[in-house]
Chain A
Amino acid sequence: MALFDQTATEHLKGLESGALKSVELTQTYLDRIRAVDNRVGAFLSVDADGALKRAEEIDERRAKKQRVGRLAGLPLAVKDILCERGKVTTCASRMLQQFRPPYDATVIAKLREADAVFVGRTNMDEFAMGGSTENSAFQVTRNPWDLERSPGGSSGGSAAAVAAGMAPLAIGTDTGGSIRQPAGLCGVVGMKPTYGRVSRFGLIAFASSLDQIGPFGQSVEDAALLLETIAGHDPRDTTSLDVPVPAYSQSVNKPLANLRIGWVREHFGGGLDKEVESAVRAAFEVYKSLGATLHEISLPHSKYAVATYYVIAPSEASSNLARYDGVHFGYRTDEKEMLAELAADRRRLETAGDKAGLEHLDSALVRMYRRTRAEGFGPEVKRRIMLGTYALSAGYYDAYYLKALKLRRLIRKDFDDAFGKVDLIAGPITPAPAFKIGEMSGDPLAMYLVDIYTVSANLAGIPGLCLPCGRSQAGLPIGLQLQAPALEEERLFCGARMFEQATDWDKGRAKL
C-alpha cells in the first residue's frame, strides 16, 4: 500500500513515533497532486512551498520535543470557501477571484493551531451551490473512480482530493449534502456535524441557517479526529453551541451495545437505483450480524424536504450574496466599458425620442451593480438568487418562505419522533452512484433531486455521516448515510466505525 493510501490516523502514529517525517509525508502528497491532479482537477491552488516549510518547522519542533498540535504534520486540503488571512479565497467564483481576506476563519485558526499542513485549496460549486462541482467558475473536478463522472458537490474538490490520495484529510462544507453526497460518490468518509457544532465564522455564507463545516477522511477514525479538532463554541459565531466537545477519536472504537437502527420507509420508494438499494440492504444485514436491531420508521414530511430546502436556502443566499456588488471588494465590471455602454444607451434613447426609456435608464451606480453581478456570478448562483429574491418578495413571502419555515419545523419533529424509537437512522446517500459529467447540467431540477436523502439533516440541524458500503458493477462507490440526533456525533462515529471494522469497503482506493 502506497503511503498516500494510508489513513491520517496511521500517518499520525508514524509521525509521533518518529518513523515518519512531515516533510516526507507532505512531499508524498504534493508529488501525488503533481501526478494526478491534472486529470482530477481537485485543487484550485496548491501551496507546495508553504506546506513544505510548515512541515519542516513542525518536524523540527517535534524533534526538539516541543509541544505540537493535535494534527501536527498532517497534510490537509481546505475547500476554497474558508477565509484564510492573506490567501486568495475564491469560493470558485469570478466574484472573489482576487479576494484576500484580512482574517482567518475560526476553523482555519484551529487547524493552524493544531499544526495541520495546508497543502492547497479545493474546487467546489460556485458559492457551494450545486451537487457536481461543475458550477465552479474555474474548472471541472472529476471523480477519481471514473474520470468521466462527477465527484458530486459542492465539496467535490475535497472529496476527490481524499479519494485520489492527494490529501489524507480535507475540510468541506455541507448546506444540503455538500459533504456527505460527494463522500458517497467518491467512496470516502464525510461528515456533517450538528448545526452549531463548528463555528461558521470565516465560512463564506451560502445559507446561514443550514451551512456547517465538516471533515473528510479515508476512515471514520480520521473524520472523528478532524471534527474533534475543529468543533467547539466560538464567541464570534453566536449560532455556535456552547457545549463541551467529546474526544471523538478516543471513543470512536467503542462499539455500541443494543444499537437500534431505523430505516426510513420513504427512502425506499421509486427512483432508488437497484444496486444502491441492495448495497444499503446488505449494510443493514451487517449491522444485524453485529447485534443491532433494525426498525422500520417513517419520516412523513421527508417528501417535502427538497422543496422546503429550495425555498429556504436560496432565500438566505439571495440576501447573503447581496454584498457582492462591486462597491467595496471583489470583482467590479470595467468602468470605462460600463460608462460607454450607458452613454450609448442614452444616445439611442434620445435619438428614438424615448422619454420613458430615458427616465428609466440606469444611473451609473445601478448599471455598475447590474454588470458586476451579471459578469461575476455563474448561472446556478444567479438562478438561486432569483429564486430566493422571489420567495422573499412582498406577496409571496407567506406562500413560500413562511410555509417553508413551517415545514422545516415539521421535518425536525419527524426526526424527534423517530429518535424516540431508534438510536441511528441508516439509508442511502444518493439515489444512484456517480453520474456523468454534463449529464445533469441541462436539468437543474433533476440535479436538485439528487439531494433528496441529504437535505433533511440540514433542515433539522442534525449530524449525518456517509461512509462507503459497496461498489456498483461499474466499480463506482456506493455510500451509506447514518444520521443521529443533534449533538450525538459520538454515537454517529461509533456506529459508523462498527460497520467500517466489519467490512472492507474502506480499504478500496481509486485506480489512477
Chain B
Amino acid sequence: MSDYTTIVGLEVHVQLATASKLFCGCSTKFGAEPNTQTCPVCIGLPGTLPVMNRNAFQLALKTAVALNCEIPAYTKWDRKQYYYPDLPKNYQISQYDLPMSQHGYLDIGDPKGAFEPKRVRILRAHLEEDAGKSLHDEVAGKGDSLIDLNRTGTPLLEIVSEPDMRSPLEAKAFLTELKLLLTYIGVSDCNMQEGSLRVDANVNLHIDTAEGKVATPIIEIKNMNSFRAVERALEYEVGRQWCEWQETHRKLGDAPKQTRGWDDVAGVTRGQRSKEESSDYRYFPDPDLAPVTVGPQDAAAIRESLGELPAALRGRLESDFGLSAYDADVLVNQGSPVVTYFLDVAKFTGDPKAAANWVTQDVLRTLKESEHTIESLPVASSALAELIRKVKAGEVPSSRAREVFQTMVEKRVDVAAAMQSLGIAAVDEGELIALCQKLLAANPKTISDVRAGKLQAVGALIGQAKKQNPNVDPTRFRELCLELIEKAP
C-alpha cells in the first residue's frame, strides 16, 4: 500500500463587529425581522452610492496586523460580478488584485503533542460586503424564494490560508487559534451559529506512487457549522479521496475543481451541482469608491494598540510564571479575561503555581458547571488570593479549601464568612499537641509500629483526630505525631 499526505487550505469569512454596515449606515445586529435593516444603498437602488465605513477598515487592519500580514500602502475596491437574488446590485464590492493585506502567518501547536508546532502562512486577508440570505423552494419552475437583505453589506473579512495544514486536526487547531486571536483583539464575535464565522476548506492528497508524488483533484468543502464539523468533514473527505484514487487514479487537473457540501447528520460530503464551473466574475475597480491609502504610521499605531496576543501570552506565562506549556495553553485558550484573572491572583499571592492550579482546576470547573463567566464569578481574584494565602498559612486546612471555595461561589461570600459557615476555625498549636498526646497515649501500638518503620500507621490517628475536631490540619497533625513519637522515651 502506498502512503499519502493530506493537504488542507482554509478560507475563513469573518463578520467584523461594527455597529453599521460596510457601505451604509444600517445596523448589523443579528436576528432582526427580515428586511428591516436595509436602506436604498444596501438594497442597491438606482443612483445610490457606497461610502466606506472607516471603523470596518480599522478592524480589518487590526486583524491583518495580528496575523502578521504585510499592509500595502495602497488598496482598492473591486466589483465581483455574478447574478444572485440575494445580491441586489448583482455585484459584490470586494477586493481582487490589491487586497488590504497579504503574506502573514499564524503559528499553531498542540500542547499534548498531537502534531509538531507549525507556522501556517496566510496568503491574504481582504474586506468585502456580505450578501443577503435566500430561502428556497427547490422545485424547478415552482414555488417562491424568500430573500432577507438584513445581512447585505455587513463587513466581511475573508482570510485565505496557504495549503499548509497536513491533517484535519491541524485544520481544527488553526481555526481554534484564529478564533482565539480574533476574540482577543475584539474584532468579531466569531459566532458560527449566527454565521459571523464561516469556513470553507480545500483538501486533496499527495500520494506516493512508484512514479513519484501524485496530487488528487482539489475539493472545496462547504456548509460546515462548527470546528468539529470541519474536522469530521476533512476526515471523511480524506478517506473518500483515497478510495476514489484507488478506483479511478484521477489526478489534479483531470477534472475541474469540485465543491462538496458537508452533511453533518449523515456524516458525509456530497457533490454540489456545479454552477458554471470556473465562473468569470469580471472583476474591475469600483469607480464609486476611492482607493484607500494606509501610511506606515497607521499600521504601527495599530500594532501598538493590539495588546498582548495569545502566542506571546503563552510564552510569558511559561517564562515569567513558570507555568507548564499545558497550563499556559489552557489558560490562554480561555480568553483574555481568564488570563487577567489568573495574573491578578498570581500577583496578589506571589505564587503563580498555586494561582495556576486554582484557576485551571477549580475556577474553570466552576465556569464549566455553572452559568458563570469569569466576569460574573462571585469570587474575585483578590478573594481567591486571600483563600490561597489562608491555606498556606494553615488557617484553612488544605483538605477543606475546595469546600471553602464552593461556599464562596454558592453563597457569594468572602473567605471569612465561608469559613464561618463551614465552622472552620484555625486549631491552636497547643490544642493540636494536646490532642496528639491524648491519642498517642490511647494507641501505644501506633508508637511501636512507627518506630518499627511503618510510618503509615499514623494515618489511623489522623482519622480519629478529624472525628474529634474537623478543623484539624491533617498534614500538621501528622508532622506533630511523628515529632512526639520520636521525642517520646
Contacts and interface: CB of A to CB of B under 8 A. Distances in A.
A325 interface: yes
Interface in A74-115: 82-83, 89, 91, 96, 99, 101-103, 105
B288 interface: yes
Nearest to B51: A238
A392 interface: yes
Contacts of B123: none
Given A201-B48, A208-B287, A364-B142, 17 more contacts: A82-B47, A89-B46, A101-B45, A102-B45, A103-B48, A105-B47, A202-B47, A207-B287, A315-B284, A327-B147, A365-B85, A365-B145, A389-B282, A392-B81, A392-B284, A394-B280, A394-B282
A336 interface: no
Contact of B47 (A204, A209, A235): A204
B90 A209 contact: no
Interface string B73-115: 0000001010101001111000000000000000000000000
Interface string B42-62: 011111111110000000000
B141 interface: yes
B45 A238 contact: no
Given A327-B85, A339-B141, A392-B284, A200 B49 contact: yes
A237 B50 CA distance: 7
A139 interface: no
Contacts of B142: 364
B47 to A, nearest CB: 4
Contacts of A392: 81, 282-284
Interface of B: 40, 43-52, 79, 81, 83, 85, 88-91, 140-142, 145, 147, 280, 282-284, 287-290
Contacts of B283: 392
Interface in A392-435: 392-394, 397, 401
A349 interface: no
A268 interface: no
Contacts of A238: 49-52, 288-290
Interface string A117-158: 000000000000000000000000000000000000000000
Contact of A208 (B85, B88, B141, B288): B288
20 contacts: A89-B46, A102-B45, A205-B288, A237-B49, A238-B52, A238-B288, A238-B289, A239-B49, A239-B289, A239-B290, A319-B282, A319-B284, A322-B83, A323-B89, A327-B88, A327-B147, A328-B88, A329-B45, A364-B140, A364-B141
A82 B47 CA distance: 8
Nearest to B140: A363
Contact of B284 (A235, A365, A397): A397
B289 to A, nearest CB: 6
A260 to B, nearest CB: 33
B51 A319 contact: no
A316 interface: yes
A323 B46 contact: yes
A343 B85 CA distance: 22
Contacts of B91: 319, 322
A239 B288 contact: yes
Interface of A: 82-83, 89, 91, 96, 99, 101-103, 105, 200-205, 207-209, 235-239, 315-316, 318-319, 322-323, 325, 327-329, 339, 342-343, 346, 363-365, 369, 389, 392-394, 397, 401
Contacts of B280: 393-394
Max count, chain A CB within 10 A of own CB: residue among B45, B52, B79, B81 = B45
A91 to B, nearest CB: 7
Given A83-B46, A102-B45, A325 B90 contact: yes
A481 B147 CA distance: 50
A200 B88 CA distance: 20
A476 B454 CA distance: 127
A226 to B, nearest CB: 20
Contacts of B282: 318-319, 389, 392-394, 397
Contacts of A89: 46
A454 to B, nearest CB: 19
Interface residue SS majority, chain B: loop
Given A102-B40, A364-B141, A235 B46 contact: no
Interface residue SS majority, chain A: loop
A83 B47 contact: yes
B79 A319 contact: yes
A288 to B, nearest CB: 41
Contacts of A83: 45-47
A326 to B, nearest CB: 10
Contacts of A101: 40, 45-47
Contact of B83 (A203, A236, A325, A342): A325
A391 to B, nearest CB: 9
Max count, chain A CB within 10 A of own CB: residue among B49, B83, B85, B147 = B49
Given A323-B90, A325-B90, A328-B88, A236 B44 contact: no
B221 to A, nearest CB: 24
Contact of A319 (B45, B81, B85, B147): B81
B140 to A, nearest CB: 6
Contacts of A346: 141
A155 to B, nearest CB: 16
A323 B91 CA distance: 8
Max count, chain B CB within 10 A of own CB: residue among A91, A319, A329 = A319
A236 B85 CA distance: 26
Contacts of A323: 44, 46, 88-90
B47 A203 contact: yes
Contacts of A339: 141
A200 B289 CA distance: 12
A497 B47 CA distance: 33
Nearest to A402: B284
B46 A343 contact: no
Across the A-B interface, the 3 shortest Cβ-Cβ residue pairs? A322-B90, A209-B287, A208-B287
A193 B392 CA distance: 82
Contacts of B90: 322-323, 325
A457 to B, nearest CB: 17
Nearest to B139: A364
A247 to B, nearest CB: 27
Contacts of B81: 319, 322, 392
B141 A401 contact: no
Contacts of B89: 322-323
Contacts of A342: 141
Contacts of A316: 284, 287
B40 A205 contact: no
A397 B280 CA distance: 11
A395 to B, nearest CB: 9
Nearest to A237: B49
A15 B287 CA distance: 42
A436 B11 CA distance: 59
Contacts of A236: 49, 51
A315 B289 CA distance: 16
B150 to A, nearest CB: 14
A264 to B, nearest CB: 27
A205 B284 CA distance: 16
A322 B286 CA distance: 14
Contacts of B140: 363-364
Nearest to A365: B85
Contacts of A364: 140-142
Contacts of A105: 47
A461 to B, nearest CB: 12
B97 to A, nearest CB: 11
A239 B280 CA distance: 28
Contacts of B51: 235-236, 238
Nearest to B289: A238
B293 to A, nearest CB: 14
